[in-house]
Structure 1
Amino acid sequence: MPRASHFNQHPAFPEDVALADLPRLSLTKLLENDAFESSQLFRACKETGFFLLDLTGSGAGETMLDDAEKVFDLSRTIFGLESEELERFRFKPKESLFGYKRIGTMKLEDGSPDNVEFYGLGQDDMLGTSTPRPNPELILANRKTFQDMFHDAYGIICHLFSHLEHHLSLKPGILASLCPQDKPSQTMLRMLRSAPHNIGNHRTNLIGHTDLGAMTILFNVVGGLQLLPAEAENVEGNWVYIRPEPGCAVINLGDAMVQWSGGILRSNIHRVVTPPGQQASCPRDSLAYLLRPEAAASMRRLEGGDIIPRVADGEQEDSLCAQEWERMRTAQIVAGNSLPEIIGGQKV
């Protein structure tokens, strides 16, 4: 998350809500290849698919925090633009999720409208891999800031990948090769805002879902992110909050990692609800860097060593490429059907 100065601008996160039990891992130790920290990373990716990554104390981490604070402040200004201006860059869900999405254009599980607006910036657009997309002048004027965040976030994830490759007995660099920055993909930086509520008026703002891609880095200050613990039934009382921590990012795995690892790794169900306690009266801003596979990447499981199970006789493997697979899942999410019977290792 951003540093404490951003947290001090909002009411404190309450102490009387159910919290997810997530490990807090140190980027500094992972960069030093600390064996215990590496084993804890692998354990978190198998058991919950979520963990907190402490970015303080390392050059790469502090740079990432600087990027996040700059973009966090920019996002507030972007969402403060006139609605007519933002609507000029409206996203088209049948094509991609880049551009502006206003509140209410996606559905929740019960068919009611969502309560989140977002602006999605494509990596290909920002880094020049594709023809530039139209964006507000404010974004164009700060292109270098967004480029820095794409590069720095990708570098951190590549290091996390290297630890997972070791524990999965995979060829070094294979995961990064499936998500390169110089080839077309749906990788994006998504700036999100949920409207404030009356205190005590609890509701779901964004449908329960798993992320489609490989890995997500999330920054937020106000609470509201919840996950459904592994093996827990999808009922209201089982959802728990993730408490934002200054200097940390929330890291979670996406469905691609489940596919590639043959189910060894977990992509956990999560959602956004009304912030708890006094924070409900605040707008909830967040940033999500969503790393997705190269468009042409295979979604077949990876081979190597004896950790990832081999395809059983008679078992049908998914033959879709990443682009086809993501289109299918995106259509499900927009329609409010984001939770198949089994997803990310969880029965829902």
Structure 2
Amino acid sequence: MPGRIDRYEEVTPTKENLDWAELITLDLSLYEQPGGKEELVKQLDHAVRHVGFFYVKNFNISQEEVSRQFSLGKEFYALPLEEKLKYHNHDDLVRGEYNGYRPSGLRVVGNGVKDNIQVYNIPKFDGFHPRAQPAVIQEHIEEVEAFSRKCHSEVVVKLLRLFAILLELPDEDQLVRDHLYDVKGEDHLRYMHYAARSADENSKVGDLYAAGHTDLGTVTLLFRQPVAALQILNSEGNWKWVKPQDATITINTCDALTALTGGLIKSSIHRVHAPPADQSTVDRLGLLYFARPNNHVVLDPIQNSPLLNRLGLTTNAFTELGQHLTTEEWVIVRQSQQQRRKVEAKILPGGKYEYNEKDLEIIPGLTAKIYN
């Protein structure tokens, strides 16, 4: 019989007057209404071309279901370190295999300060990623699978159809077929834990938990949690805080979608800042779902999009190097680069991060970008 899981209690939201980003909210209850998808595409168009961030609401996943996943994440991180480490393999990380547990402190961020991020990734339940799970997760694995599948069916699939309409594709299910849940792929659910740091430690790393970056997949779903930390780089080049809105999911578009659309859809640039003063001593627990194209999908620009063809968006960063990477190849080289970075950054005044270029090389001719 599954063990009892304590109810998740949210942290009190910040009362500080932060410089919040202005983001659109897509109401997915319009999705099934006549003309609803077309109306949503109109709202989505500017956001994905210029910022890559937006909210969705009315997504048919209850707050109770979301809170249960936060509870499971909290229970997992409460386990003794030696228990969590049973699900960690550093050699796997270096090879680009990111599922399972990643402890904090694996790298020195800069100025002698180690990273403060723990990650536990649960691959999608497509039959291709068998993994042992700790008892606290295994006892509730059917519930975890149901939640993972609903992230895909209730949010990802609907967004893919909206993107297809935006791209004027002849079949609005074209992108859906490249992201089938039961076909081998690298989608995963993540419980993420950021440990609060002292003000002194934060100052040594530019007050950042994670420097500016993009995600490597199609879209990332970030479920609301009230510790303010996420910031986005807007189209004017300014960092803005992303407000945790009630009953919403924050969505960001990612590298694979940018590649498929020849750069039309922006891969959103974001970072994780140390929380504001009234939340500075609180650990931050995240619940995310990362959607990616199926492993066999080649990340060339979509050829049958009238919109992309009219705009001349027929190449991307891969094809310009003569590369035609599948999603699986892209995930391996990108994840390997992320885990390879052992040398700490040089952190300049103002929080600018500098790395040796070799540490950022993904493939010859293509390096990862750190956005300062």
What interval of TM-score do these two structures reach, taking the shorter chain for normalisation? 0.7 to 0.9
Matched, 1:38 2:44: no
* Paired position in structure 1 for 2:337: 332
In structure 1, what is the equivalent of residue 78 of structure 2? Answer: 80
Larger relative contact order (CA 8 Å, sep ≥ 6) = 1
On the 8 A contact 1:52/1:251 being kept in 2, the answer is yes
Matched residue type, 2:245: E
Shift of 1:339: 9.5
SS of the residue 2:87 aligns to: coil
The equivalent of 2:135 in structure 1 is 137
1:205 match:
209
* Cα deviation digits, residues 47-93 of structure 1 (max 9, x gap): 111001123xxxxx242533321101110010000100000001431
> For residues 192-218 of structure 1, what are the alpha-carbon distances to aligned partners after superposition, in whole Å with 9 as ceiling and x for unaligned?
011123468552212322111111111
Aligned counterparts of 1:255 and 1:272: Cα–Cα separation in 2: 18
> For residues 74-119 of structure 1, what are the alpha-carbon distances to aligned partners after superposition, in whole Å with 9 as ceiling and x for unaligned?
1001000010000000143124111111112246478853211010
- Give the 5 Å matches for 1:122-271: 122-123=123-124, 127-130=125-128, 132-155=130-153, 156-170=155-169, 171-198=171-198, 201=202, 203-219=207-223, 220-230=225-235, 232=237, 238-271=238-271
> Contact 1:64/1:152 (CA < 8 Å) preserved in 2?
no
Query: Helix, strand or coil for the counterpart of 2:249?
Result: strand
Residue in structure 1 matched with residue 97 of structure 2 by the alignment: 96
Residues 14, 227 of structure 2: 8 Å contact kept: yes
What letter corresponds to residue 19 of structure 2 in structure 1? A
* 1:46 aligned counterpart, secondary structure: helix
Which stretch shows the higher mean deviation, 222-231 or 243-252?
222-231
Structure 1 residues 272-296: Cα deviation after superposition (integer angstroms, max 9, x where no partner): 1211131111110011100112111
C-alpha contact 2:213 2:370 (8 A) present in aligned 1: no
Structure-2 change in CA distance of 1:344 and 1:98 (3 Å): closer
* Shift in Å, 1:12: 2.5
Deviations 1:257-314 (A, max 9, x none): 10001111001111212111311111100111001121111011102242113537x9
- CA gap 1:295/1:111 in 2 versus in 1, 3 angstroms: farther
Structure 2: any 5+ residue segments left out of the alignment?
1-6, 342-358
Secondary structure of the corresponding residue to residue 281 of structure 1 = coil
Q: Distance in 2 between matches of 1:256 and 1:109?
A: 29
Larger radius of gyration: 2
Q: Which amino acid aligns with 2:267?
A: S
AA of the residue aligned to 1:40: Q
Following TM superposition, by how much is the alpha carbon of 1:343 offset from its aligned partner in structure 2, in angstroms? 9.2
* 2:11 match: secondary structure: coil
TM-score (norm 1): 0.85
Distance in 2 between the 1:22 and 1:281 partners? 28
Any conservation in 1 of the 2:96–2:333 contact (CA below 8 Å)?
no
Q: Cα distance 1:267–1:110, how it changes in 2: closer, same or farther (>3 A)? A: farther
Cα RMSD of the aligned pairs, angstroms, is 2.8
Please give the alpha-carbon distance, in whole angstroms, between the structure 2 residues aligned to 1:271 and 1:315: 28
Q: Distance in 2 between matches of 1:344 and 1:215?
A: 18
Number of residue pairs matched by the alignment: 329
Counterparts of 1:347 and 1:75, CA distance in 2: 29
Query: Does the CA-based 8 Å contact 2:96-2:336 persist in structure 1?
Result: no
Write the distance in 2 (CA, Å) between the matches of 1:193 and 1:345.
24
* Percent of paired sites with the same residue: 24
Instruction: Give the TM-score taking structure 2 as reference length.
Output: 0.80
**Which residue does 1:272 correspond to in 2?**
272
Query: Alpha carbons of 1:97 and 1:141: their partners in 2 closer, same or farther (altered >3 Å)?
Result: same
Contact 2:261–2:302 (8 Å) recurs in 1: yes
Contact conserved, 2:13 with 2:226, CA < 8 A, in 1? no
* 8 Å Cα contact 2:295/2:326 also seen in 1: yes
